[in-house]
Amino acid sequence: MNLISKAAGVVAGVSLALTLGVPVYAQDEDQAFEEFLQDEFIEAMESDFMSMHFTVRDYRAYGIEKPDLVIGSASWDDYEEGVREGEETLANLAEFDYSKLNPEHQHDYDTFKFYVECLTELNSYPDYDWWFMPSEGLIDNLATNFTEYVFYEKQDIDDYLEVLASVSDYIDGALGITARQVEHGVFMTDSALDQTLDAIEKFVTRTDDNPLIVIFEENVDAFAGLTEAERADYKARNRDILMNSYIPAYNRAAERLESWRGTRSDTDTIADLPGGKDYYAARIRFKASTDKDPQALMDLCTEYIEDEIDNYIDLLYSVRNESIFDETVSLSDPEEIIAFHEKNMDVYPEGPKVTYKAAYLDPAVASDGIIAYYLEPPIDEITTDNIVKINGDNVADVNELYSTLAHEGFPGHLYQITWYLNTDPSPLRAAISNIGYTEGWAMYAEDEAWSYSGLNEYAAEFDRINTSMGYAMNAAADIAVNGLGWSESRLGTWLNSIGLNAEIAPDLYDFVMDTPGVIIPYGAGLAQFMLIRDDAKSALQSQFDLTAFNEVLLTYGDRPFELVEKDVQAWIETFDPSQSVPVVPDVTPAPSRRMNPLLYAGGFAAAVILIIIGAILIRRSRKGDPFR
């Protein structure tokens, strides 16, 4: 089964359970399970060339045979095959005696099982696998695959060109799937279609300066050992494929996609479409890395948002001079900002020493919906091949650049992923991803990064709430509209009920209609991490140690939040309860914080609420995993 749906990614020192003795695990069962994971990894790598190329540098060392040199498969029959193979994998997994596995393998078992269940369920809804969505669809991600492709040896250049030549057939296959979806009455919104068509137009109008020409030729020139004749030949072949195959395929896609305009009513949410509610529940299970149903996840996000509104109102009552919020961080160079974050990792366990590069994206391949992404290194090169790319047009100011690089670099994706890979996990665990966890961690780390930003405490808190509440609010709105079928009017009523302004409902509604599920990993992932931390702090009081807590979160890697919660609870239970400080209820009467802040606070405070409402209205995504 091809379990790897991406072309590249994204030391257990804490006791996680109390035992009366040392458990004995069946070595034979652990060895058999490790071999099973290794076989699944090899099978996945051998089924998709681009996934293999980005996941491992020396594939031969893993016993992997090079797959067919194509960009991938795009066929309606793939979905039925995916369901069958997923069920077969789950049946094979069930053959192991879970109780005989050691704790690490039990985590591998649970995480892999969750991942396969999610993909198997999603393959049951082929009508909703929209290949041409903006930001996370085929058009944006194809360009990323090729611009980030690395030439390790000469053969890689030939492989690249052969894969590039397969894109035309791949796009035609995706268009065939889309045509069938349209026949079933299921398609993206016209607004989302416009964004995709704009991305195609931006790419195809670039000829001699097309990034797939410029970057390829730069890489060929930098590759040692080629003759000038070989360089010239490679460049000519690349241009020929691009101009006579790749770009014409994009133009065909634009023409056919345009012909489907108006297929979907602008008032039809995912929940209104055939089977949409069930599909969306499966989608957010995968996107949020949790078994919580849409309503439970909506309630969780709302709880977090309400807590942050309380924090925001407290902030407004502490400040009477709006200029105090105008501070900016003192750094502006991306690599200097990442280095600054790396030096301020006091509340995180030490990770491996790594090198990294940060650069701005070429506008021709920079999606309007993306701020930045972190390109995961091959699992056998974790210390050197770490790359962060930034869409300069989408970064509003230096403070947003600061928080974005905390998200993508330290203490976000770069740190979390290399920390876990440095523990030598199973290659399969390193190759699959629980995106709700990974994006949630990056948002959690970004939230913490404001504490050492150098800004005054009020400006830092203002920026922290502005970012975090914005993503959580967008995620909650996405669930409400696409998962629960809320109308724009009902969304406005909900916004008023939690203390926000219903005037933002129309724009918020349009955003989540166009990009269903895209923002979920960020907002819902953040809310889950923050509420888990708050519960741990409440339970342990003075015994709570943030560094130790973060190590519990990191240990065993990205995984479903049910496992994270279980691990944190086991960690809490290792403490002596007699040493904890009990929680004393506050019996002092306090005014309600649930009314609309625009009515609750006056003067300058009300003005600031209006500012933050505008700032958090639409949160674009940071891509920890830039590939389909």
> What's the Rg (C-alpha) of the chain?
25
C-alpha distances out from residue 109 to 84, 431, 469, Å = 20, 15, 34
Residue 26 has a pLDDT of 53
String of DSSP letters for 446-515: HHHHGGGSSS-HHHHHHHHHHHHHHHHHHHHHHIIIIIT---HHHHHHHHHHTTS-GGGHHHHHHHHHHS
C-beta of residue 30 within 8 angstroms of C-beta of residue 108: no
What is the tally of helices (H) and strands (E) in the chain? 26, 4
Q: Which of 66, 73, 51 is nearest to 7 (CA)?
A: 51
Residue 27 has a pLDDT of 65
Q: What angle separates helix 520-540 from helix 435-449, to the nearest 10 degrees?
A: 70
Q: Tell me whether strands 370-375 and 356-360 are parallel, antiparallel or unpaired.
A: unpaired
Residue 364 has a pLDDT of 77
Give residue limits of the domains in the chain: 131-274
Residue 5 has a pLDDT of 46
Residue 23 has a pLDDT of 40
pLDDT along the chain (628 residues), means of 10: 42 26 60 96 96 96 97 95 96 96 97 98 97 91 93 97 98 98 95 95 93 96 97 98 98 98 90 95 98 97 96 89 89 95 97 94 80 92 92 89 97 97 95 95 98 96 94 97 97 94 94 95 98 97 97 98 98 79 38 27 31 38 41
Tokens linked to 341: 């974050």
Report the distance separating Cα 546 and Cα 414, nearest Å.
20
| pTM for this model (two decimals) | 0.89
370: phi then psi, degrees, rounded to nearest 5 = -120, 135
Report the distance separating Cα 414 and Cα 398, nearest Å.
20
